Structure 1
């Protein structure tokens, strides 16, 4: 297993290097002038040139790239011009908010999609199967920002069941001591049940938005994988041996159908990290996605580069985790690795 993990890590190094190069070049060709933006509309060309010189933007691209990589090797992602803080500190402060939202959304989607996909495969052609297809079609058809706005309109504006979509906590709640960065966990650690309720009420609508977005691929893959496994010889042998239907489905079929589902979960988690950008803007969520959008509008290079690099590292870690799960679910994968 350790050998397999080492091999996977070695193959990811070129990917990280490519991400660094491409991100650096793309940020330099984006429309807009960082120096002109921060100098203001009334600034003179001389003032803009001075700011450009202070930021090092007047140097040739190879010199800028060497400076960027040198700082990167020291763990320095640069300083955000919009917040005035180091990018590393900004990302560390905002990443738990995005991670909490993404994980809760994925868990909600799994709680619905996995049982629905299994039932749709077991009872093929029934109303459950038709419901599975409707859910999958709706999840693919609805844009994530539209779903978020629709939920806000129904549950906040019309029914009044949800609080205003203004971040992770309402104005009447106070943040707990930062232990993990996840508000729900920190509230429980602080034994603040009222704060936990307030944080959960703010979280539920954006999490449901992401869950609806991710329902379709998980449900479809679960159904398709279960159908393939239920027709296999070992499942027919298990049924012929007199095992109960729940034993056959839960122990034999579902575990063997999990490999493609785990792959889909990894892909969906990656998609959710991208969809977070829109969801965070709709719900004023103070996560890393909204941070990157604000930096992009201001042509602030360092936060954009830090955001893309952080996402790349998370994708690499996610793929490595999927490989480890493969070995846990199917020992033959460890032997092949």
Structure 2
């Protein structure tokens, strides 16, 4: 192991810290290339192991054979598999994720139109998951072996084990049908949907951009139930993780030293133990992106949310393998990018990772 220059306190010097972080970042970037190549190859092969070919599977007997052959030739499915694979990698490298078979739409346009709805949903769901998970986890670790701890753990287990579609249906029934507080489906009311001037295709941003507060309130109301439903299911992961790390951190020597110096217990917990307990949580945030994207498929279907997950279900039902392939590739690239960003953040926060 390479030695690292340190100061009197044992911390790495600024120059060595920057060099090691740069070296770690370059190493992680180099590892991403084969990882993405493997993912792309697996997606390509899985879409072609089914009997027959994608064109016949999606169109079936609804069009004449001559038209099927023409579409095959147009999309390149009549070419040898190695040429299809070469063109597939080349197109993705240029940002072209293919064209759907059933409605001949570029997958890139679908990602822009429907992917932004999923991005908006998962972003606010992540906020809900972090706020609820970290709060309950901190309370459970701080008041270990009390009713607060037992209640928080029980809540975390139950909420994580509950199917997201069942929790969504119960939320629709109680807050929508019974109390009438919130809308139970769609991304906005028909009037807002028809009159909203789009800039980013993210409704909360576009309504603020336009200065339309009435539309903003309408969009937020439609967002609450699906975001809270998806976020609560994900919060179960954070509750357990934060609890375990708070308990472990409370036993460290520097916590005992802080107590021995007479520092207030609240400061010891919230300013010392809690901050260090959050370091592993940052790692899990990256992994949770995949969980949120998978949960978004069921959440969007339950709430009729016009996101990429609901669109994926439609193309799966139509057996449009070209569309499914393009959407799954985008999902995979998002997960890889999120993991890479989290690795960089972890390396910046915790020097032990990069040395």
How far is 1:21 from its partner?
1.0
Match of 1:168 in 2: 187
CA distance in 2, matches of 1:190, 1:58: 48
Asked if the contact 1:35–1:48 (Cα under 8 Å) also holds between the matched residues in 2, the reply is yes
Match of 2:177 in 1: 157
Match of 1:93 in 2: 113
Partner of 2:47, secondary structure, is: helix
CA distance in 2, matches of 1:157, 1:33: 45
How far is 1:323 from its partner?
1.7
How far is 1:309 from its partner?
1.8
Please give the per-residue CA displacement for 1:252-283, whole angstroms capped at 9, x wherever unaligned. Answer: 10111112111222222220111111111111
How far is 1:286 from its partner?
1.4
Partner of 1:29, secondary structure, is: coil
How far is 1:3 from its partner?
2.7
Match of 1:198 in 2: 218
- Which residue of 345, 352, 355 corresponds with 1:325? 345
Partner of 2:191, secondary structure, is: coil
Match of 1:134 in 2: 154
- Which residue of 278, 283, 291 corresponds with 1:271? 291
Partner of 1:28, secondary structure, is: coil
Which runs of 5 or more structure 1 residues have no equivalent in the other structure?
A: none
TM-score (norm 2): 0.87
Which runs of 5 or more structure 2 residues have no equivalent in the other structure?
A: 1-20
Deviation larger for 268-277 or 149-158: 149-158
Partner of 1:252, secondary structure, is: helix
Alignment of 1:234 with 2:257, yes or no, is: no
- Relative to 1, partners in 2 of residues 1:31 and 1:220: Cα closer, same or farther, differing over 3 Å? farther
Please give the per-residue CA displacement for 1:193-232, whole angstroms capped at 9, x wherever unaligned. Answer: 1111110111111111111211111000000000000011
Asked if the contact 1:34–1:298 (Cα under 8 Å) also holds between the matched residues in 2, the reply is no
- Which residue of 274, 278, 281 corresponds with 2:301? 281
How far is 1:68 from its partner?
1.8
Match of 1:259 in 2: 279
How far is 1:15 from its partner?
1.1
Match of 2:320 in 1: 300
Deviation larger for 10-19 or 305-314: 305-314
- Relative to 1, partners in 2 of residues 1:30 and 1:195: Cα closer, same or farther, differing over 3 Å? farther
Match of 2:227 in 1: 207
Match of 2:266 in 1: 246
Match of 2:333 in 1: 313
Partner of 1:299, secondary structure, is: coil
CA distance in 2, matches of 1:265, 1:61: 38
Deviation larger for 189-198 or 312-321: 312-321
How far is 1:40 from its partner?
5.9
Please give the per-residue CA displacement for 1:84-139, whole angstroms capped at 9, x wherever unaligned. Answer: 32111211222221111011011012111112111111111222111111211112
Asked if the contact 2:126–2:231 (Cα under 8 Å) also holds between the matched residues in 1, the reply is yes
Deviation larger for 30-39 or 280-289: 30-39
